[in-house]
Structure 1
Amino acid sequence: MFATRPFRNGLIALAVALAGPASALSGDEPKGEPSLLENDPKGWIDMLTGAGPELEGWVRGPIPGTAELPEKSPWSFDKATSSLICDGSNSHEWLRLDQVLTDYVLHVEWRFEKVAGKKGYNSGVYVRTSSDQKLWHQAQCGDGSGGYLFGETMSNYASKPFDLSKEVRDRRVKPAGEWNTYELTCRGREVTLWVNGAVTCVMKPCPVPRGYIGVESEGYRIEFRNIRVKML
């Protein structure tokens, strides 16, 4: 049985608030700071413990505008390494935790499988995302690139795209084959992205107060481990 099932009782309905545009953090950021998980390992929930080969507690979903979900899932759980693996098939989809969350810190470690001659590695980590992905907030994962927030958020009763990539000054994502650590802190009307030792950007305000967390499959083999949540 999925270890966090008691935690998932009474799912909260997704709601949105009205607000203005997102913005990135300005100025120099601290370098080489330990993650929140390293600083205080107590109180975190491992979202993969007990998931098993069927990934109980997780739900596949299509990306809007893409083909229907293939019957064969690209997702699997490697018990030996406690890793969630996307096999790199051509399916473009996401895998979400079957629980609406509000204020929390999401800790995720990830790496692409390096393939000789391969380029354009692409994936992402989602927070405060609706089940139909009409509203989504993603931390971009790439090959020595990414480490920024972008997506579709709510503004004046309609969805509105946002992209903080040009405002990130500190490129901290490691190349394919190496492990990266992301921590996304969702607190009130703010989402902060921490990458490999430092904050890279902050979305403030974030008009969407709650939603799903998840990870993306976009044609590249990628592993995720230590997917942990600490409620705030």
Structure 2
Amino acid sequence: MRESSVRRGLVAVAAAATVLMLGAQKAGDVPSALEADPAGWSDLLAPSGAGLDAWTREPIPGGGDLIESSPWKLDASTGVLSAVAPGADREWLRLDQVLLDFILHVEWRIVPDPAAKAPGGGVYVRNSNDAGKWHRAQLGDGKGGYLVGATYANQVAKPFNLEAEVKDQRVKPAGEWNTYELTCKGRSVTLWVNGAVANQWKGCGVPRGYIGLEVDGGRVEFRNVKLKSL
């Protein structure tokens, strides 16, 4: 009798643990492309590779001046890239390679700081070299997770903002890691955020361009910045 009671108790505990585990996942979550197929990815911050030698700091807007001291620091032991927003001066870190179709995987988090106002930044795809044409996945403290920018249309830069199309805010608060994946195929740009597609946009007017990172408020850390050509 005692053994049977113990067995029933263990079964109940296991069932409760399963319910808690499933409850921690959002309905409809799908794995990232990196999780689904880890083959064929290039680590863009690999300490054994070029590291930041493959990246260039560029001012926003293009043609301006950069502050003398770089805000970007790569920890070779952890592979974590961090930056503090350089005040009123804006800049982005651009990978020195023009890309066609690809998937970009980026993990990021905002470092908690009560003094930081509007901490955040962006992950760029399909940018022109001077960021005059830009397509950005917005980062923020418990917010963001949408595409915004200025794409090429009718020979001019046409602004766009897909924030209103986000149905489920999935970006985590400061201190927690987030994962973005941007898939670029021709005129299509898809943004996947922490388990689900947030934006699927087919209006990109730039078929090739640069990827990059920006911090425009507070301190942001990046890791596992990986690229897969399509």
- TM-score grouping bracket, smaller chain normalisation: 0.7 to 0.9
Q: Report the CA distance shift for 1:94/1:82 in structure 2 as closer, same or farther (over 3 A).
A: same
Amino acid across the alignment from 1:202:
Q
Deviation string 1:78-133 (CA, Å, 9 cap, x unpaired) is: 01210111134324210010000010000000001001354411200000000111
For 1:115-134, what aligned pairs fall within 5 Å after superposition? 115-134=113-132
Aligned residues: 202
Higher helix share: 2
Shift of 1:65: 7.6
Q: Report the CA distance shift for 1:109/1:95 in structure 2 as closer, same or farther (over 3 A).
A: same
Paired residues of 2:122 and 2:136 also in contact (CA < 8 A): yes
Structure 2 residue 43 is matched with structure 1 residue 46: yes
Highest Rg: 1 or 2?
2
For 1:12-161, what aligned pairs fall within 5 Å after superposition? 31-49=28-46, 50-52=49-51, 55-64=52-61, 68-90=65-87, 91-161=89-159
Pick which of 146-155 and 79-88 moved more.
79-88
Amino acid across the alignment from 1:225:
R
Q: Following the alignment from structure 2 to structure 1, what is the Cα–Cα distance between the partners of residues 208 and 184?
A: 9
Q: Following the alignment from structure 2 to structure 1, what is the Cα–Cα distance between the partners of residues 72 and 103?
A: 24
Pick which of 105-114 and 200-209 moved more.
200-209
Which of these residues, 214, 219, 222, is aligned with residue 220 of structure 2? 222
Paired residues of 1:104 and 1:185 also in contact (CA < 8 A): yes
Paired residues of 1:101 and 1:211 also in contact (CA < 8 A): yes
Q: Following the alignment from structure 2 to structure 1, what is the Cα–Cα distance between the partners of residues 142 and 84?
A: 20
Q: Following the alignment from structure 1 to structure 2, what is the Cα–Cα distance between the partners of residues 94 and 118?
A: 19
Q: Following the alignment from structure 1 to structure 2, what is the Cα–Cα distance between the partners of residues 72 and 123?
A: 19
Q: Following the alignment from structure 2 to structure 1, what is the Cα–Cα distance between the partners of residues 170 and 141?
A: 11
- The 3-state SS of whatever aligns with 2:145 is strand
Q: Report the CA distance shift for 1:30/1:36 in structure 2 as closer, same or farther (over 3 A).
A: farther
Q: Following the alignment from structure 1 to structure 2, what is the Cα–Cα distance between the partners of residues 30 and 129?
A: 34
Paired residues of 2:62 and 2:130 also in contact (CA < 8 A): no
User: Please, which runs of 5 or more residues in structure 2 have no aligned partner?
Assistant: 1-25
Higher relative contact order (CA 8 A, sep 6+): 1
Shift of 1:30: 7.0
Paired residues of 1:188 and 1:209 also in contact (CA < 8 A): yes
- The 3-state SS of whatever aligns with 2:34 is helix
Deviation string 1:37-72 (CA, Å, 9 cap, x unpaired) is: 0010000001112234xx101000011189621010
Which of these residues, 202, 217, 221, is aligned with residue 204 of structure 1? 202
Q: Following the alignment from structure 1 to structure 2, what is the Cα–Cα distance between the partners of residues 30 and 135?
A: 36
User: Please, which runs of 5 or more residues in structure 1 have no aligned partner?
Assistant: 1-28
Paired residues of 1:125 and 1:140 also in contact (CA < 8 A): yes
Paired residues of 1:92 and 1:219 also in contact (CA < 8 A): no
Paired residues of 2:95 and 2:212 also in contact (CA < 8 A): yes
Amino acid across the alignment from 1:207:
G
